[in-house]
Amino acid sequence: MFLKPEVLKALITAAAAQVIASAPELTALDQAIGDGDHGANMKRGFEAILAKLDAIAAEAPGEAVKAMGKTLVMTVGGASGPLYGSLFMAMGEAMLRGKRLPEDLAEIFASGVEAVSARGRSRAGEKTMLDVLVPVLEILRAEAGRPDLAQRVRAVASAAAERTAPMLATKGRAAFLGARSIGHIDPGARSSSVLLHAICTSLEALP
Ligand code: ADP
Ligand code: MG
């Protein structure tokens, strides 16, 4: 009931629109500590998802989320493509194994975060998307079922992305900069925050 095709379509559209609108900002962040392609990479991936939206949203929720992941792997490129792809594919697979929304949200998200960590050989504290994904997972675990959970996730995601600025990058391209990576928000942390914001805002707007 929770993820009817219309709802799924609305969520995916909102997430894609927000990521695409944020492309210039993501590019600017990646210009500071990477190679400046993160905005274009994410935009390409989410445009590809939008192009297949009807087919994706018509699938069972687990298959749909997995299909989003596969599309991201095929189209985003860079380091972030396989990482975001793993996030969505693992969440879809958890749902296909019988985990359900909304009751198993934290467990489903945990499967995705573990897949990113395994694929990236990374963990929180290294100035990557995991510095947003892990604190959000903690909130989902600690505050599951709270009526204001979506609002809490938004606040935690924004604050967590900001907190990557003083961190030293030890993974990904930014790690090559060493101490010069300090003082800039990580582009992938920011794109994770943008995605989570869009999903939470459209969940809050559901009737
Ligand atoms: P590339 O670095 O190949 O140009 P992108 O610019 O699209 O790819 O993505 C960069 C983002 O990917 C970084 O800001 C970081 O958040 C994330 N990232 C890179 N390497 C890792 C890793 N090993 N684990 C987790 N996230 C990573
Ligand atoms: Mg890049």
pLDDT digits over 31-67, tens only? 999 999 999 999 999 999 999 999 999 999 999 999 9
pLDDT of the residue at 2: 59
Query: Is residue 79 in contact with ligand 1, taking CB distance under 6 Å?
Result: yes
Q: pLDDT class for 172, splitting at 50, 70, 90?
A: very high
pLDDT of the residue at 1: 43
Query: Is residue 160 in contact with ligand 1, taking CB distance under 6 Å?
Result: no
Counting atoms of ligand 1 from 1, which one is nearest the CA of 33?
A: 14
- Return the domain boundaries, the chain: 5-204
The Å distance, Cα 108 to ligand 2 centre, comes to: 27
| Cβ atoms < 10 Å from Cβ of 204 | 12
Superfamily of domain 5-204: DhaL domain (1.25.40.340)
- What H or E segment, with its residue span, contains residue 101? none
Q: pLDDT class for 205, splitting at 50, 70, 90?
A: confident
Contacts of 50 (CB under 8 A, 6+ apart): 12, 13, 16
Q: pLDDT class for 183, splitting at 50, 70, 90?
A: very high
Q: Rounded distance, CA 139 to CA 166, Å?
A: 22
Query: Is residue 45 in contact with ligand 1, taking CB distance under 6 Å?
Result: no
Q: What is the dihedral of CA 24, 8, 198, 185, to 10 degrees?
A: -60
pLDDT of the residue at 4: 83
pLDDT of the residue at 189: 98
CB 131 within 8 A of CB 167: yes
Give the number of the ligand closest to the Cα of residue 80: 1
CB 126 within 8 A of CB 170: yes
Across the range 71-82, mean pLDDT stands at 97
Across the range 90-117, mean pLDDT stands at 97
Structure tokens at 5: 């095709």
pLDDT exceeds cutoff 90 at 199: yes
The Å distance, Cα 136 to ligand 1 centre, comes to: 18
pLDDT of the residue at 48: 98
Q: pTM for this structure? A: 0.97
Q: pLDDT tens digits for 145-166? A: 899 999 999 999 999 999 999 9
Residue whose Cα lies nearest atom 4 of ligand 1: it is 78
Query: Is residue 127 in contact with ligand 1, taking CB distance under 6 Å?
Result: no
Which of 46, 72, 128, 192 best tests ligand 1's pocket when mutated (most atoms within 8 Å of CB)?
128
Residue whose Cα lies nearest atom 21 of ligand 1: it is 172
Query: Is residue 39 in contact with ligand 1, taking CB distance under 6 Å?
Result: no
Query: Is residue 34 in contact with ligand 1, taking CB distance under 6 Å?
Result: yes
Structure tokens at 204: 């809050």
pLDDT exceeds cutoff 80 at 3: no
Which of 129, 170, 191 best tests ligand 1's pocket when mutated (most atoms within 8 Å of CB)?
129
Q: pLDDT tens digits for 122-145? A: 999 999 999 999 999 999 999 998
pLDDT of the residue at 150: 96
Listed residue (207, 191, 199, 203) closest to 84, CA to CA: 191
Across the range 6-28, mean pLDDT stands at 96
Across the range 165-177, mean pLDDT stands at 97
